[in-house]
Amino acid sequence: MKQIDFGDAPTIRKNVFLVDAFRGVDLSSAPSSIDNSRSPDAPNMIADLLGKPIKRNGFGLVTKYPGRINGRWELDGHEIIHAGTKFYIDGTQCWAGGNDEKSVGQIIGTNLYIFDGLCALKCDGNDIYPISYDAYVPTVTISRNPIAENIMAGGTAFEDVNLIGRKWTERFTVTEALAAATQFQLSFANLDNNPVTVLVLNQNGGFDEKKEGTDFSVNRETGIITFTVAPGKTPLTGEDNVYITASRDWGDYPDRINLCNKAIAYNSAGTQNRLFVSGSGKNTDYFSMADKPEYFPDLNYSAIGNENNRIIGYSVVKGLLATHIAPADDGRSIIMRKYSLTEDKRETFPVTDVLQGEEAVSPRSFVYMETEPLFLTERGVYAVTAATVDGAMYTQNRSYYINEALKEKGGIAECEAARWQKYYVIAQGDRLYLLDTSQKSYSRGEPYSSYQYECYLWTGINARILWEDGSGNLCFGDEKGNICKFIPGVYHDYSEDGNKAIVAYWTIPDMDGNLFWRNKTIRTAAIQAAPFPQNKLRLEYKKNGVWTTLKEWGSKLGFFQWSAISWSNFTWHANAEHKTVTAKIKIKKVDKAGFRVVCDEIDKAFGLYAFSLEYVESGRYKK
């Protein structure tokens, strides 16, 4: 009898979905198009030294001030805090009556110069006071003549009036022909009531101080100084022998500096010994003399763009001062300037180039990172960079993966940014976005940008201002006057009601198998977790938009360490290597599946090294 061959029995092929390479979040792409190495939703995660996602550290309260935190700096080991309307050095109040708005500061030499939009201040590490207290007194004219018939007062212009000060000095040369002269005319009239001071050169080469009311009188309306006894001819031929210092109210001159709230230290050849400030006028900025931040000559100003523009902030690009303006004229949003010395020895900063690109909107977002300055626009984080071919400079986007999230939350102009180690950190509402400048990727989403930075998202952090302290810790101040610091090895956040848990998880992009239109049946899930003494996580599955728990792991993931004992999660295991756990699950006939690994208990850590699923495909998917 002939045998019938039924062939081999059909076998079910098992497939493996594996994610063992990780980057950051992608909050801009459609969920179906996100690379498996990125997460569509992963709050409070950050990369470890191997690039694997781990739960961020928690923050603790350092100190509290009676006012919202508006500024913070370090100067020679001292901490300066601007809280509310007051300024403090190492916790001691040193100045009151400031502006209750965010302030900026620049360090030049051994001093800090602060601009809060109300009064320009100086801090020497021991005290804080208005810059005007130390205002440089310029000598506006030299070789001037006393009042005499048929002889002009003349003189040579020497220095400009100081916008931030009231005083000025004029020097006179008394020749033998004018030795009997007793009246000296100043260049400016309408003096204020402050005493006029006079120094007269003596035969020994020193100066004798004369007293107002005894040695001379002052007509403050006309600016004429009349001596009781003529000072006489100069004992050194050709040298000025009468120095007169007076003061007057210059009107709005001081406010041009005091009302500024933007500043940068810049000068030629990469030095940072001159202040540029703006904010008191829409498109006008002012610059001090080099190494003399207390001296803003009244002619040291620039009108940037036109009267419809306003200055947003500053950055330095390839040794040039980049001034960012808005609105952009024909897309020209960045004005480049460079130090120059005119024929008459006047220092100027003429425009050398105008760059087109996205305009900056956040005055407090200008941060220099590694090789390029970054700033915030309505379309995300941009950099000023140079083309590789012709060296021309232009702007490029660097934040594709969080652009849509930034726009959705809104208020980009109010965002705060700071540098923390390799991260460009943005504070927006109760969120922090971190751009890892050491991780570059190349995205089709921004074809006109050469690369993007990988990004991370932290939540539950109401930072008003950000900074990195001297120990490399990320710190922030908030609206309630709290100064907080992220503390390595701590996994809870401070709150007034007690420590709170950090909700952290890594969402895996939807797995749709080899053929998206086939049914998937998933039987096994595996997780490779980073080692922590107190480690707890759970695996969740999304069904019909709702997350449900599939499996939890606790002590099995941890290892013994005396400093981190928790009796509810106790283990004698001392193995600190990574841990692998698996779970039998039952998910049948789905076209795609979403998973996330969660760690949301207080003082529990979490790190994800790999995630895998085992599944089979069979039949056409029918909903």
Please state the domain extents for the chain: 14-55+502-620, 166-247
Residue 479 has pLDDT above 60, yes or no: yes
Query: Tokens 């939540």 — which residue?
Result: 459
- At 510, which amino acid appears? D
Average pLDDT for residues 75-104, to the nearest whole number?
97
537 and 552 Cβ atoms separated by less than 8 Å: yes
Phi, psi of 2 (to 5 degrees): -75, 135
Give 319-371 as a DSSP string: TEEEEEEEEEETTEEEEEE--EE-TTS-EE--EEEEEESPPB--TT--EEETT
- Under the banding of pLDDT at 50, 70 and 90, the label for residue 149 is confident
Q: What is the pLDDT of residue 447?
A: 73
382 and 357 Cβ atoms separated by less than 8 Å: yes
220 and 258 Cβ atoms separated by less than 8 Å: no
Distance CA 338, CA 345 (A): 15
Residue 131 has pLDDT above 60, yes or no: yes
Q: Which of 61-75, 248-262, 568-582 has the lowest mean pLDDT?
A: 568-582
Q: What is the pLDDT of residue 448?
A: 73
Average pLDDT for residues 63-81, to the nearest whole number?
97
Q: Which of 221-230, 243-252, 416-425, 613-622 has the lowest mean pLDDT?
A: 613-622
Q: What is the pLDDT of residue 555?
A: 58
Q: What is the pLDDT of residue 556?
A: 58
Distance CA 420, CA 51 (A): 17
Residue 563 has pLDDT above 70, yes or no: no
- Mark residue 283 as left, alpha or beta (left: phi above 0; alpha: psi -120 to 50; beta: remaining): alpha
Give 103-114 as a DSSP string: -EEEEETTEEEE
- Under the banding of pLDDT at 50, 70 and 90, the label for residue 10 is low
Q: Which of 36-40, 155-159, 314-318, 467-471 has the lowest mean pLDDT?
A: 314-318
Distance CA 304, CA 316 (A): 16
Q: Which helix (H) or strand (E) is 585 found in, with range? A: strand 579-590
- Under the banding of pLDDT at 50, 70 and 90, the label for residue 557 is low
Residue 579 has pLDDT above 50, yes or no: yes
Q: Under DSSP, is residue 487 helix (H, G, I), strand (E, B) or coil?
A: coil
Six-digit token pair at 40? 């569509």
Q: What is the pLDDT of residue 269?
A: 72
Distance CA 325, CA 373 (A): 16
Average pLDDT for residues 475-490, to the nearest whole number?
97
Distance CA 594, CA 547 (A): 9
Residue 65 has pLDDT above 90, yes or no: yes
Higher pLDDT among residues 390 and 186, named by residue: 186
Residue 390 has pLDDT above 70, yes or no: no
Residue 566 has pLDDT above 50, yes or no: no
Distance CA 620, CA 515 (A): 10
- Under the banding of pLDDT at 50, 70 and 90, the label for residue 345 is confident
Residue 565 has pLDDT above 70, yes or no: no
Q: For the segment 252-271, what is each residue's pLDDT rounded down to a tens digit? A: 999 999 999 999 999 987 78
* pLDDT above 90: percentage of residues in the chain: 76
Q: What is the pLDDT of residue 344?
A: 85
Q: How many CB atoms lie within 10 A of CB 456?
A: 26
81 and 476 Cβ atoms separated by less than 8 Å: no
Residue 350 has pLDDT above 50, yes or no: yes
Q: What is the pLDDT of residue 567?
A: 41
* Best CA proximity match to 401, nearest among 51, 17, 37, 48: 37
- At 492, which amino acid appears? H
Residue 8 has pLDDT above 80, yes or no: no
Q: What is the pLDDT of residue 573?
A: 41
Average pLDDT for residues 412-417, to the nearest whole number?
97
99 and 119 Cβ atoms separated by less than 8 Å: yes
Mean pLDDT of the chain: 91
Average pLDDT for residues 471-497, to the nearest whole number?
97
Q: What is the pLDDT of residue 560?
A: 39
* Best CA proximity match to 372, nearest among 320, 318, 336: 318
Six-digit token pair at 304? 């940037």
Residues 529/531/534/538 CA torsion (nearest 10 deg): 0
- At 18, which amino acid appears? L
Q: For the segment 500-545, what is each residue's pLDDT rounded down to a tens digit? A: 999 999 999 999 888 888 888 899 999 999 888 778 899 999 988 8
Q: What angle do CA 163, 167, 169 make, to 5 degrees?
A: 115
> Model-level pTM greater than 0.85?
yes
Span 14-55+502-620 CATH architecture = Sandwich (2.60)
Residue 607 has pLDDT above 70, yes or no: yes
